């Protein structure tokens, strides 16, 4: 089994794969204060919960935007399997030209999403990743990573409303039953969810106008399934895009030294 880790600011998503076959996925909190021993126990528990054991894992790979968690998980992997994981960096063979001002500073999740999207969909491509932040990555007609946009995510928007207003409550991020809310919680849900969908539609319109051609729009990330049905522009929901990219990068770079 290949064990994959997607480390975000809010969650760590863990996936087990046998070749192209997804065996399981699990999600735990991304905690900067946990030690390698604690993460080792968490990983072992996730495996056991899905019916697997330490001996079933042959190797691992990690994409992370939280360096301190990366380090703790890598040490945890070494404790359990006595070797390091393959970590995504721009030193890998990406098969992707990154045209940003500082490629080494580009989020690893954006790189992995782009690698998978380029392999799976016709260019040009707009990849929307809905996590703690909502990001838009632009892959041009030649398959180059051009750059993108970053906006506050759904969770941040709801948290900010609850924290900065006296009478607005915190709400769960569920799709509203109707466009026009008839109570405070539904009004917030409608504003945040439809507002986010409208933002994505607007991004697509402006990017296509800027590039002068139609784009394939792809949406992924933890909250993608809730927002995609609310978008008016055609958009492909690909919940496992990052794991597809991470598997592809692992296959291409698994024999490289691991630091």
Annotated binding site for substrate: 107-110, 184
Query: Coil, strand or helix: which one is 216?
Result: strand
Contacts 24+ apart (CB under 8 A), 183-190: 188/158, 188/161
Contacts of 185 (CB under 8 A, 6+ apart): 169, 171
**Catalytic status, residue 109:** yes
Contacts of 48 (CB under 8 A, 6+ apart): none
Which residues contribute to the annotated binding site for K(+)? 129
Whole-Å CA distances, 219 to 149, 159, 195? 14, 23, 16
| DSSP conformational letter for 85 | P
Matching residue, tokens 């927002």: 227
Catalytic option among 109, 113, 238, 244 = 109
Q: Is 102 exposed, middle or buried (0-12, 13-18, 19+ CB in 10 A)?
A: exposed
Which residues contribute to the annotated binding site for ATP? 6-13, 132
Which residues contribute to the annotated binding site? 6-13, 107-110, 129, 132, 184
Distance of CA 120 to the CA centre of its chain: 16
Would you name the residues annotated as active-site residues? 109
């Amino acid at each position: 089994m290949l064990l994959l880790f997607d480390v975000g600011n809010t969650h760590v998503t863990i996936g087990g794969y046998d070749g192209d076959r997804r065996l399981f996925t699990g999600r735990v909190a991304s905690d900067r204060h946990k030690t390698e021993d604690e993460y080792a126990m968490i990983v072992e528990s996730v495996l056991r919960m899905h019916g697997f054991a330490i001996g079933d894992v042959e190797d691992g790979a990690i994409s992370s935007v939280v360096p301190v968690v990366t380090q703790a998980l890598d040490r945890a992997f070494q404790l359990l399997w006595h070797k390091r994981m393959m970590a995504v960096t721009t030193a890998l063979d990406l098969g992707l030209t990154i045209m940003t001002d500082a490629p080494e500073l580009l989020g690893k999740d954006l790189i992995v999403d782009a690698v998978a999207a380029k392999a799976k969909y016709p260019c040009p491509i707009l990849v929307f990743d809905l996590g703690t932040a909502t990001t838009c990555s632009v892959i041009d007609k030649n398959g180059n990573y051009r750059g993108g946009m970053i906006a506050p995510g759904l969770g941040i928007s709801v948290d900010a409303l609850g924290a900065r207003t006296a009478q607005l409550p915190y709400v769960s991020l569920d799709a509203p039953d109707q466009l026009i809310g008839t109570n405070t919680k539904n009004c917030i849900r409608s504003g945040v969810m439809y507002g986010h969908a409208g933002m994505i539609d607007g991004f697509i319109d402006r990017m296509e106008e800027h590039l002068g051609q139609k784009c394939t729009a792809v949406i992924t990330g933890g909250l993608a399934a809730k927002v995609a049905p609310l978008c008016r522009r055609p958009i492909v929901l690909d919940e496992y895009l990052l794991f597809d990219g991470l598997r592809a990068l692992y296959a291409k770079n698994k024999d490289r030294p691991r630091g």
